[in-house]
Amino acid sequence: MLQSMLEAGVHFGHQSRRWNPKMAPYIYEEKNGIHILDVVQTIGELEKARTAFKSAKNVIFVGTRPAIAPLIEQVATKTGSNYVNTRWVGGLLTNWTTMTMCLEKLGRLDAQLETATPKKGFTKKDILSLTRERERLEKFFGGLRNLKTLPDLVVIVGQPNEPNDDSARSVAFILDQLTKD
């Protein structure tokens, strides 16, 4: 595992001038203005994260950077989890009643658009406005369709204190290890 982590570039941190002091225990050395992370500690922390992931039943993956958004969707779909990969909607966790109403509305719009035809009394303008509303809700809540209750675990990808979160290959490796059986 150590060799594959090095090949994926997980050991590269951020520029030494942009570091978070809370990361000091995990930094092995500084080389050419970039922090090199202690891979042995990273393996231990990854095992802790994997244990937490395995014990959680309801998980949301969050990654809004354009480079990793497709990866977030792919991993969440593979594991049967929910995801947010466009923009974090304020109140998603703290205003749960409103969020459930938005998710229910998205479901209702889907059902309504399946049967919406001019023969059933819908004008083209009505269908277009319903389609636009569904697309807007789909953009923000599409990855949360299966979310019925508050999540047990939120996996945030792309925070500045992660190992080499600028590299999609590194993020893919970490997510693969996290979700591996």
Question: Tens digit of pLDDT for each residue in 44-86?
Answer: 888 998 999 999 999 999 998 888 899 999 999 999 999 999 9
Structural domain of residue 124, as residue ranges?
96-144
Residues 81 and 110 both lie in one domain: no
Residues 139 and 64 both lie in one domain: no
Q: Which helix H or strand E contains 82, and what residues bound it?
A: strand 82-84
pLDDT digits (tens, 9 = 90+) for 4-40: 766 666 776 767 777 778 877 888 778 888 887 877 8
Residues 75 and 154 both lie in one domain: yes
pLDDT at residue 13, as a whole number:
72
Contacts of residue 128, Cβ cutoff 8 Å, sequence gap at least 6: none
d(CA 42, CA 53): 16
Q: Give SS3 for 36.
A: strand
> What is the pTM assigned to this prediction?
0.81
pLDDT at residue 2, as a whole number:
63
CATH number at residue 66: 3.40.50.10490
pLDDT at residue 74, as a whole number:
94
pLDDT digits (tens, 9 = 90+) for 78-118: 999 999 999 999 999 999 999 999 999 999 999 999 988 88
Q: Give SS3 for 43.
A: helix
Residues 78 and 125 both lie in one domain: no
pLDDT digits (tens, 9 = 90+) for 143-177: 999 999 999 999 998 765 445 555 777 788 888 88
Residues 21 and 58 both lie in one domain: yes
If one counts every other C-beta atom within 10 angstroms of the C-beta of residue 126, the result is 13
Residues 7 and 78 both lie in one domain: yes
